[in-house]
Amino acid sequence: MENDEYFEKMLKFILQREGGYSNDPTDLGGETNKGITHRTYDAYRRSKGLKPQSVKNITDNEVRDIYYNNYYKASGADQLENPQLGLYTFDTAVNMGVGIAKDLLKQSGGSLDTFEKLRRDKYQSYADAKANQKKYLNGWNNRVTHAKTYAKDTLPSKKAKPFQLGIEMDVDKNGNVMNYYNRGDLKNMSKQEIFDNLPTLTDQALYRLGHPTGHAANINNIKQEIIPTVHMGPQKASERLKGLRFEQLTKEELDELLEELI
């Protein structure tokens, strides 16, 4: 199961609402534990090559796996950019079925208010169709209200973009992928090849000085391998040594920097 921070928060709400084991003869879901019906649990166990057993014995890992794959992902809640709408969809899938959740999502056009109204109307139609379902209507509507409050208080209206470590260290100032040359590459280059690649080598040297913790080679290799080879012309010490920590500077470099700054 993937690590999904939004799923974790949504699942917490689901489990709070579903409670523990129940076997109400008027509940259309039948024998249920933590919101998982015995039919769903039997199908899950068979899909894993396991023998069916009472849903009373369902484990926490099985509960999470079922909710994640059979409801969260199956309903499309995981793909929604609005986690609040994701909770509406996920919770509806659990309480009313994946097909209904997907249908209400489509009809809502992505509107939270429209989804809420459609869900309440659907519950009302259940109560109108079967007299023994009317006793659940208040509880169903309360669940919609609680989902709305929980979503607003706990979830953002838009997913944050994941932090992708290293991207800014692998592209140049124009967004192009950097080509890194190590000591072996430079030794094997002819004078013409060095001349042809001089712009890239210069960008690499400047980039790496500004990002000393960046790519594979360390800052000492940069100073030894690239800078002596690439003739960048006169440059201030503060520019040439930009990004280095004091402990990375040689005594000569530190003296040069101090002379410029004082």
- Tens of pLDDT, residue by residue over 144-170, are 999 999 999 999 999 976 544 443 445
Chain-centroid distance of CA 52 in Å reads 34
The model's pLDDT over 126-141, given as tens digits with 9 standing for 90+, comes to 999 988 889 999 999 9
CB atoms within 10 A of CB 74: 16
pTM recorded for the entire structure? 0.60
Ranges of residues in the chain whose predicted pLDDT is under 70: 1-2, 24-29, 161-187, 195, 200-235, 243-247, 257-258, 260-262
Nearest to 181 by CA among 166, 168, 194: 194
**pLDDT at res. 215:** 44
Domains (range + CATH), the chain: 5-154 (1.20.141.10), 167-261 (no CATH)
pLDDT in tens, 203-235: 666 665 555 554 434 444 444 444 444 444 556
